[in-house]
A and B are shown apart, each in its own frame.
Chain A
Amino acid sequence: MTEPAAVVLDSASALDIAQLRHVRPRHWGRIVSATCLLVLLALLVHAFAIGQINWATVGVYLTWPTILAGLLNTIIMSVCAMALGIVLGVAAAVARMSPNPVLRSTAIGYAWLFRGTPVILQLLLWFNLALIFPVLGIPGLWSARAVTVITPFAAALLGLGLNEGAYVSEIVRAGLLSVDAGQYEAAKSIGMSHSLSLRRIILPQAMRVVVPPLGNQFITLVKTTSLASVIEYAELLHNAENIYYSNAKVMELLFVAAFWYLVVVTALSFGQAVLERRFARGIARAR
C-alpha cells in the first residue's frame, strides 16, 4: 500500500485547497472503549434486575420510619462530630504554631494519639469508660455515674469528634502556613490583636486551602459514623441491620442504607462547591 500523495502547493491550486471543508479527526480508540464500558454497564444493570433481590422491598424501606430515624441520627452525629472536630482542630492547629513549647507539644501529642489508633477502638474505649471511672464529675461540685453520662450518643460524639479534630488540625495548619507572613504584619500594623487578625485576616484566607480537604474529611466522617453501630448508636446502618436481623432482607436493606449515604454525600459535595466559591473571593484563578 502506498502512502497517500502529499498535497503539493502550486499557485493555481492554493486558493482551491484553502476553500475545502476541514474534517475533524476521528478518535477510534475512544469510541471502542466507550462502547465496551456501556456494554459492561448494561450487563451489570441486567444482572441486578434479574438477580435475587426484591426491588419493591427496597422501595418500601427507603422511607421506613426506623430508616429515616437512623438517617437523622447519622446526620446529627456527623454535624456534631464535625463541629467538635473543627473547634478542636483549629485550636490544636493554632497551638501547634505557637512559640510556646508546652502548647506546641500538647498539640503534637493530641494528633499523634488520635491519629495513631483505630477509630473503632476509640469508640469502644469511650463507651466502656465506666469500667475505669465508675463515677465522673468535679469533686465537690457535681458528679454522676459514668454509665448514665456516657450514652451511645456521648461516646460516639467524643470518639468521632476527638478523632476528627486530630485530622482537622493538620488541615487547618496547612491552611495557616499557606498565608503569606506579610498578612500577619499588615494586620498587626493596623492595630489588630493576634486573635482578631486570625479571625478576620488569616483564617478567611486559609479557608481557601482548607475547604477542599475539609469537605473530603466531612464525607469520610459521614460514612465513619456507621462504626458507631458497634456501640449501639442508632444510626442509619445500625437501624438497617436491626431490620434485616428480623426479616432477613439483607441486601435490600443494605441498598436502602447505601442510597441514603449517597444522598447525604452528594448534598455535601454541593455545599462544598458553594463554600469554595465563597472563599475564592478576590482570587483571580478560582478553580
Chain B
Amino acid sequence: MTPIVSAVKVGKSFGTVQALSDITMDVAAGEVVCLIGPSGSGKTTFLRCINQLERFDSGALFLEGELVGYRRAGDRLHPLAEAQIAQQRRATGMVFQRFNLFPHLTALGNITEGPVQVLRQRPAEAAEHARSLLAQVGLSHKADAYPSQLSGGQQQRVAIARALAMRPRLMLFDEPTSALDPELVGEVLAVMRDLAERGTTMITVTHELSFAREVGHRVIFMDGGRVVETGPARELLSNPQEARTRGFLAAVLS
C-alpha cells in the first residue's frame, strides 16, 4: 500500500542555515507519528514542508504517491503554480500552536469556511457536517461563539474541527498544546487521542512525551535538522539508542 507520506532526502535551507538535511521517512495510513526534539531541530519546519507553508529545496516528498510542490520536466523539478499548491494542501489538515482561528467568524463559520469557499459544498450540507464535528470535539454548545469568547483549549478544539472539515487524508499538529494553560492541555489531547483511535493518520510535533508514549505508534527524534533516531513509541522513549536522544529525554523528564 502506498504510504500517506513518503519523504526522500528532503532538505531545506534558510539562507546559509541548513534547517533540514536528508529527511527520509514513510508514514503509513492510520499511523500516529510524534516528532520530538529540541527547539530548532527542524521538526516544525518539516511539518510545514508537508503542507507547503515552507518549500523544501532538495529531495522529494510524496503525499499518497504524488510529488508535493513540484512537477518533473526532464531532469529538473519545477515548482507548481499557486493554484496547484492550494489544491494539494487540501489533502492535509493543519493545527497550529497558536490556533489561528478566524476571529471574525463564529466557531461554526470557521469550520464551514473551507468546505463552502474551497470545496464549494452547499452551506447547509457544510453546516451539518460542522455540527457533527463540533459534537466530536465536545463543543456542540459553542457553535455560535466567536473565538474571543472561547478558552484556549476550546479554540484549539474548534481549530481541529476546522481542519477535519476538509476531510484530509493526513492531520498535522504543530505543538498543539504548547500555548495552552496547563489545565486545558488534557481536553485537547483527549480529542487527539480520539482521532487516533478512529484511525486518523497523524503527524504531531509535541513536547507531551506521555501522549507520545500512549497514543503514538512511532516516535522520531530530530536534532540539527536531521532524524537522529526513530522507533516504536514506547521502545524509543524508554530505551533510546542514541546518546543525543538520551540527553534530550533526560533534560525533558527531569
Find chain A residues with CB under 8 A from B165 CB: 190
For chain B, residues 74 to 133, give those with C-beta under 8 angstroms from any C-beta of chain A.
Answer: 82-83, 86-87, 89-90, 92-94, 96, 98, 100-106, 113-114, 117-119
Beta-carbon contact of A281 and B146 below 8 Å: yes
Which of B90, B117, B163 has the most A CB atoms < 10 Å from its CB?
Answer: B117
**Choice from B104, B114, B148 contacting A190 with Cβ under 8 Å:** B114
CB distance from B56 to the nearest CB of A (A): 16
CB distance from B205 to the nearest CB of A (A): 15
CB distance from B88 to the nearest CB of A (A): 9
* Interface membership of A189, Cβ < 8 A: yes
**Choice from B96, B114, B162 contacting A182 with Cβ under 8 Å:** B96
Given contacts A200-B113, A283-B148, contact A189 B53 (CB under 8 A): yes
Beta-carbon contact of B96 and A188 below 8 Å: no
Beta-carbon contact of B118 and A185 below 8 Å: no
* Interface membership of B166, Cβ < 8 A: yes
**Choice from B94, B98, B104 contacting A204 with Cβ under 8 Å:** B104
* Interface membership of A282, Cβ < 8 A: yes
CB distance from A102 to the nearest CB of B (A): 18
By size class, the interface of chain B is: 20 to 34
For chain A, residues 242 to 287, give those with C-beta under 8 angstroms from any C-beta of chain B.
Answer: 279, 281-284
Find chain A residues with CB under 8 A from B94 CB: 185-186, 189
Given contacts A193-B82, A283-B148, contact A188 B102 (CB under 8 A): no
Given contacts A182-B98, A185-B53, A282-B106, contact A190 B83 (CB under 8 A): no
Give the CA-CA distance A204 to B105 in the complex, in Å.
10
Beta-carbon contact of B100 and A186 below 8 Å: yes
Given contacts A196-B118, A200-B117, A284-B148, contact A189 B104 (CB under 8 A): no
Beta-carbon contact of A190 and B105 below 8 Å: no
Find chain A residues with CB under 8 A from B166 CB: 190-191
Find chain B residues with CB under 8 A from A205 CB: 102-104
CB distance from A286 to the nearest CB of B (A): 10
* Interface membership of B51, Cβ < 8 A: yes
Beta-carbon contact of A192 and B117 below 8 Å: yes
Beta-carbon contact of A191 and B87 below 8 Å: yes
* Interface membership of B147, Cβ < 8 A: yes
Interface residues as binary, B131-144 with A (CB distance below 8 Å gives 1, 0 otherwise):
00000000000000
Find chain B residues with CB under 8 A from A187 CB: 102
Given contacts A281-B146, A283-B103, contact A188 B117 (CB under 8 A): no
Beta-carbon contact of B104 and A193 below 8 Å: no
Find chain B residues with CB under 8 A from A180 CB: 100
Count residues on chain A whose CB falls below 8 Å from chain B CBs.
23
Give the CA-CA distance A189 to B113 in the complex, in Å.
12
Given contacts A192-B117, A282-B148, contact A183 B102 (CB under 8 A): yes
**Choice from A183, A189, A194, A196 contacting B51 with Cβ under 8 Å:** A189
For chain A, residues 99 to 158, give those with C-beta under 8 angstroms from any C-beta of chain B.
Answer: none
Beta-carbon contact of A188 and B148 below 8 Å: no
What DSSP secondary structure best describes chain A's contact surface?
helix
Find chain B residues with CB under 8 A from A211 CB: none
Beta-carbon contact of A192 and B104 below 8 Å: no
* Interface membership of A62, Cβ < 8 A: no
**Choice from A182, A188, A201, A204 contacting B89 with Cβ under 8 Å:** A188
Beta-carbon contact of B96 and A196 below 8 Å: no
Give the CA-CA distance A113 to B190 in the complex, in Å.
58
Give the CA-CA distance A265 to B51 in the complex, in Å.
49
For chain B, residues 46 to 86, give those with C-beta under 8 angstroms from any C-beta of chain A.
Answer: 51-53, 82-83, 86
Give the CA-CA distance A125 to B100 in the complex, in Å.
48
Give the CA-CA distance A112 to B230 in the complex, in Å.
57
Q: Which residue of B lies closest to A187 (CB)?
A: B102
CB distance from A188 to the nearest CB of B (A): 6
Give the CA-CA distance A185 to B86 in the complex, in Å.
12
Give the CA-CA distance A180 to B96 in the complex, in Å.
13
Give the CA-CA distance A162 to B146 in the complex, in Å.
38
Beta-carbon contact of B90 and A183 below 8 Å: no
Find chain B residues with CB under 8 A from A191 CB: 86-87, 89-90, 114, 118-119, 166
Q: Which residue of A lies closest to B159 (CB)?
A: A186
CB distance from B142 to the nearest CB of A (A): 13
Give the CA-CA distance A209 to B52 in the complex, in Å.
30
Find chain A residues with CB under 8 A from B92 CB: 189
Beta-carbon contact of B83 and A193 below 8 Å: yes
Beta-carbon contact of A201 and B102 below 8 Å: yes
CB distance from B200 to the nearest CB of A (A): 16
Given contacts A196-B117, A200-B113, A282-B146, contact A189 B103 (CB under 8 A): no
CB distance from B47 to the nearest CB of A (A): 11
Q: List 10 A-B contacts (CB under 8 A).
A: A183-B102, A185-B94, A190-B163, A191-B87, A191-B114, A191-B119, A193-B82, A282-B104, A283-B104, A284-B148
Q: Which A-B residue pairs are the 7 nearest by beta carbons? A: A190-B114, A282-B146, A186-B100, A189-B94, A191-B90, A182-B100, A191-B118
